[in-house]
Amino acid sequence: MSVKCQTVINYIEQFAPKHLAEEWDNVGVQVGTTTREVSKVLVTLDVTADVVNEALSMGAEMIVSHHPLIFKPLKNLRFDTSFGALIEKIVLNGLVVYSAHTNLDSAVEGVNAALAEKLGLQNIEILSPDKEEELVKLVVFIPAGHEDAVREAITKAGAGWIGNYSDCTFQVDGIGTFKPLAGSDPFIGAVGQLEKVEEKRLETILPKQNLNSVLKAMLKAHPYEEVAYDVYPLFNRGKVFGLGRMGVLSEETTLGRFADRVKKTLNVQTVKVVGDLAKTVKKVAVCGGSGASLLHKAFFAGADVLVTGDVKYHEALEAKEMDLHLIDAGHNGTEIVILDQLAAFLKERLVKDGVEIYVSQVNTDPFTFL
């Protein structure tokens, strides 16, 4: 069994909406076509030659990565370079590569949420909230007997989510009236005659950014030539998105002990620490990947320590002067925690279609510590 690649993408973008990506980022389809039939998906941090070989060996048609395969605009694509040869292999084997980067960082259950939960933080909040979801209500009128097909189409396209509940809709019975005019091709009734039809009023809620795709799916599934529907703006509070997370440990501990816990929990070879190892820590900020830009956010939020990766010398020096402890567990080590969560999300939604989801077993971290 299989689904169109676009179906997988729709689910990914429910988890990590594309509009959350930073302006400089390149997210979405990197290589391939959304019409490709997909039966196996490989989830990875990076798209490398080893990962592509892994995908091909298991018969996967799609690779979902965190880091974009194509990050900067290409001036050429030479197949006698390592990068060009990688693209050539992907294309010749019909693979689809899709990347969710900074949108996955800012997602409600994204990289930073996964990192905070992995480290056992409690009372977790967003460290740097900067976006809020806009919501709309969609109401559509459907002839009786066709409501299930339309409902399934719009919920698959991204409507009907309320918190941890999917497929949330409401429906009532009613009578619709219409008179087909010259030039029409009515599904029910005849030209020039007033029709009264038993119809269902189906309504649901959806993020504004999903509206176009939901309307497209609705119109395709609806039997009428002209579909009657309404879209209402809502003032309901939507999801809040942002980078980083803040939480507390169940019990205070020393910086040294917590650093050792981070190392073991994230299964990294080493961590770099800024601060007095004997100092007490309880309030913890985290940012997967490269999070030193949140130093001041963490400081003013009252964090005792920031767990992140890719900390530069002068950033570490600044943190030390601020008396903000740092634990650098590496870029890979602080982001790889998201793979299992994303894979589980996709498995739950695609199992009914027989699509298999795998987490890459290739270690793409380029560093070895001696």
Helix (H, G, I), strand (E, B) or coil at 150: helix
- 314: annotated binding-site residue? no
- 88: annotated binding-site residue? no
Cα(193)–Cα(184) distance, integer angstroms: 12
Helix ranges, the chain (H): 5-15, 49-58, 82-92, 102-106, 111-118, 147-156, 211-221, 255-266, 295-300, 313-322, 331-335, 338-350
- 105: annotated binding-site residue? yes
- 101: annotated binding-site residue? no
Q: At what angle do helices 338-350 and 111-118 cross, to 10 degrees?
A: 110
- End-to-end Cα separation, the chain, in angstroms: 46
Taking alpha carbons only, the member of 369, 264, 360 closest to residue 46 is 360
Q: Could you identify the residue written with the tokens 């066709």?
A: 146
- 146: annotated binding-site residue? no
Asked if residues 288 and 337 have their Cβ atoms less than 8 Å apart, the reply is: yes
Enumerate residues 6+ apart whose C-beta is below 8 A from 233. Answer: 134, 136
Q: Could you identify the residue written with the tokens 């189906």?
A: 202
- Tokens (6 digits) for 320: 């030390």
Binding residues for a divalent metal cation: 66-67, 105, 331, 335
Binding residues: 66-67, 105, 331, 335
